[in-house]
Amino acid sequence: MHPTIADIRKDYTLEDLSETEVDPNPFIQFKQWFEQALSAQLPEPNAMTIATAMPDGKPSARMVLLKDFDERGFVFFTNYNSRKGQELAENPQAALVFWWAELERQVRIIGHVEKVSETESDKYFYSRPENSRLGAWASHQSEAIASREVLEQNLQKLQHQYENQEIPRPSHWGGLRVIPIEIEFWQGRPSRLHDRLLYTRLDAQTWKIQRLSP
């Protein structure tokens, strides 16, 4: 007999998470965990859920890829005319979630969102493979289309148009930075008594650390 969904469970036993061991700077703590995810050779450790809100308050979430982070925040790139781009233009608040199952870890981030500089967007865009750059032009992200062939035809036209030419970055495509006010580190523990440490920003340089009940 196959187990029901309710029967699926796992006890988490790999690590613990202590206030005395984490770095007082959440960006340094994230860097340590991210480097451990890289060392563990997890599939796409930079994959993250980003949740936004529609104008009527309905939530909207999808997976994107983290492309940079530092003490200014967490950066991803997108079409600004996409659904998430439009939602963030109207309500520049977002939540991020990283889930590293093999390490029994989760990171949750809440913050304000702003566009990165034109220079930052250019730098990343021109580092992308040629067809990825063309894809930013070929796809009117989040708009309904008649068929897959529409995308393929758009790409073929652009390949011909920009043959032996530099592909410019579209003005509607670039980076967004989530500037956190909260960062929570979650480590799975036995009996569902997980470790949760929440960093809350007090000012530009200071964070408060609290343990949350699982």
Yes or no: say if 64 and 76 are a contact pair by the CB < 8 Å rule.
yes
Catalytic residues: 192
Token duo for residue 164: 């032996």
DSSP the chain: -PPPGGG------S----TTTS-SSHHHHHHHHHHHHHHTT-SSTTEEEEEEE-TTS-EEEEEEE--EEETTEEEEEEETTSHHHHHHHHS-EEEEEEEEGGGTEEEEEEEEEEEPPHHHHHHHHTTS-HHHHHHHHH--TT---S-HHHHHHHHHHHHHHTTTS--PPPTTEEEEEEEEEEEEEEE--GGG--EEEEEEE-SSS-EEEEE---
Measure the CA–CA gap between 195 and 16, rounded to whole angstroms.
7
Q: How far is CA 194 from CA 78, 89, 95, 113, 160, in A?
A: 34, 36, 21, 29, 55
Burial (Cβ within 10 Å: 0-12, 13-18, ≥19) of residue 130: exposed
pLDDT tens over the chain, length 214 residues: 677 988 888 888 899 999 999 999 999 999 999 999 999 999 999 999 999 998 889 999 999 999 999 999 999 999 999 999 999 999 999 999 999 999 999 999 999 999 999 999 999 999 999 999 999 999 989 989 999 999 999 999 999 999 999 999 999 999 999 999 999 999 999 999 999 999 999 998 899 999 999 9
Measure the CA–CA gap between 103 and 43, rounded to whole angstroms.
12
Report the predicted TM-score, pTM, of the whole model to 2 decimal places: 0.93
Measure the CA–CA gap between 186 and 122, rounded to whole angstroms.
35
